């Protein structure tokens, strides 16, 4: 059964098992655990749907900005979450992001 994020208790959400990461350089054995950990770390910060810069998310997660950007792209993928990742320009190349909605597997 699938639920919207707002219907899932915050502490019980986990990414779908297994997330369908892909790409020419992706190796499940080498990268799977790290990407799952990053996905959860970023989710724990952005789940409140507030606007944040990559730098702010990095400060809260300890993950590199490039990895955070990639995980935000992953949140858009229907097989991972199918969420909307909004972005807005702040100034001089600085952007803020927020994750809204999406469906997750109920566990």
Express each pLDDT in 2-42 by its tens digit. 455 556 566 666 655 556 777 888 888 888 888 889 998 99
Contact 35, 65 (CB under 8 A): no
Q: Mean pLDDT over residues 43-50, rounded?
A: 92
Phi and psi torsions of 72, nearest 5° = -65, -40
Cα(43)–Cα(71) distance, integer angstroms = 9
Structure tokens at 51: 């606007």
Q: What is the pTM of this model?
A: 0.75
Cβ atoms of 83 and 67 closer than 8 Å: no
């Amino acid at each position: 059964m699938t639920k919207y994020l707002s219907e899932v208790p915050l502490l019980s959400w986990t990414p779908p098992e297994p997330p369908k990461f892909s790409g020419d350089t992706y190796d499940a054995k080498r990268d799977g655990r790290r990407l799952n950990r990053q996905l959860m770390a970023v989710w724990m910060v952005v789940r409140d749907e507030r606007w944040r810069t990559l730098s702010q998310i990095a400060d809260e997660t300890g993950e590199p900005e490039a990895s955070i950007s990639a995980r935000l792209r992953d949140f858009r993928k229907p097989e991972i979450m199918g969420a909307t990742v909004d972005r807005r320009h702040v100034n001089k190349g600085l952007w803020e992001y927020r994750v809204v909605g999406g469906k997750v597997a109920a566990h």
